Amino acid sequence: MTESTLTTTTHRPAKSSFWKAIAAVAWKDLAAELRSRELLSAMLVFSLLVILIFNFALELDIATRRSVTSGVLWSTFAFAGTLGLNRSMAIEKDRGCLDGLLLAPVDRSAIYFGKVISNLAFMLIVEAIVLPIYSVLYNTNLFQPGLLLVILLGSVGYVAVGTLLASMAVQTRTRDVLLPILLFPVVVPVLIAAVKASGGYLTGAPMTDILPWLNLLIAYDVIFTAIAFMVFDYVVEE
């Protein structure tokens, strides 16, 4: 058996255990939420309240409503996502699960990616419920492939950064206040790009106007996920 074969054989179990650890962390969060329904219910109620308030506050014609839809949508997603991120990490801390995860013999980055997957799943579930309700209330078709792609890319970037900052803020007494203060300045690029790209699809703008914002979303997702991956170990050590 050659040296390269030995190296490949040695690395396979490590890779396998890494993916299994990610799946285990994500499944733990999803299974716990299926039993309690504490996190999703809070995010969903908050989202519905926001879009209902906007619906009655903005008594606009159909054309004007279409122009403000992207801003209303992403305001709803951002606030509901922040609530979900905060509650997700607070539950782990209060129940002592976070210490158990950090003591587990797995790579810390597996914990990060597992939390990102579960938080992203919660956010996408809320968005999947909000979109049809919003479409009915505002008489706007939101089920466009391009718009759905923007929502996915924006949600990935938001959750990737939010999970890292929530892990940092949960260690403090003022975590409920600290997370939005830390998070919103960092996610301003992804929110602006998501609003502009969403508005472009809804108003029928040419693809040349939308593409720069899509590229910004993709670049943001890749860069900030890589940064979070590299620094997560140091954040949770503190």
Q: Is the pLDDT of residue 143 over 90?
A: no
How far apart are the two ends of the chain, measured CA to CA in Å?
A: 44
Q: Where are the alpha helices (DSSP H) in the chain?
A: 3-36, 38-57, 62-94, 97-103, 108-138, 145-169, 175-203, 207-237
Q: Is the pLDDT of residue 101 over 90?
A: no
CB 137 within 8 A of CB 51: yes
Separation CA 173–CA 135 (nearest Å): 39
**What are the tens digits of pLDDT across the range 16-74?**
788 888 898 889 889 888 888 888 888 999 998 988 888 777 766 666 677 788 888 99
Q: How far is CA 64 from CA 61, 67, 159, 202, in A?
A: 5, 5, 30, 11
CB 231 within 8 A of CB 109: no
pLDDT confidence of residue 64: 67
CB 62 within 8 A of CB 99: no
Q: Which domain holds residue 71?
A: 3-237
**Against a cut of 0.85, is the pTM above it?**
yes
Separation CA 60–CA 122 (nearest Å): 31
Separation CA 163–CA 137 (nearest Å): 31
Lowest mean pLDDT among 125-129, 139-143, 147-151, 191-195: 139-143
pLDDT confidence of residue 62: 64
Lowest mean pLDDT among 18-22, 56-60, 108-112, 191-195: 56-60
**What are the tens digits of pLDDT across the range 58-73?**
766 666 677 788 888 9
Average pLDDT of the residues in 211-220: 96
Separation CA 205–CA 150 (nearest Å): 14
**What are the tens digits of pLDDT across the range 81-91?**
998 888 888 77
Lowest mean pLDDT among 1-10, 31-40, 44-53, 185-194: 1-10
Burial class (CB in 10 A: 0-12, 13-18, 19+), 162: buried
Residues 6+ apart with CB under 8 A from 83: 42, 43, 46
Residue 110 DSSP SS3: helix
Q: How far is CA 133 from CA 38, 65, 129, 142, 205, in A?
A: 21, 15, 7, 10, 24
Lowest mean pLDDT among 5-9, 109-113, 144-148, 173-177: 5-9
Q: Is the pLDDT of residue 7 over 50?
A: no
Number of domains in the chain: 1
Lowest mean pLDDT among 87-96, 145-154, 158-167: 87-96
pLDDT confidence of residue 169: 84
Residues 6+ apart with CB under 8 A from 55: 137, 138
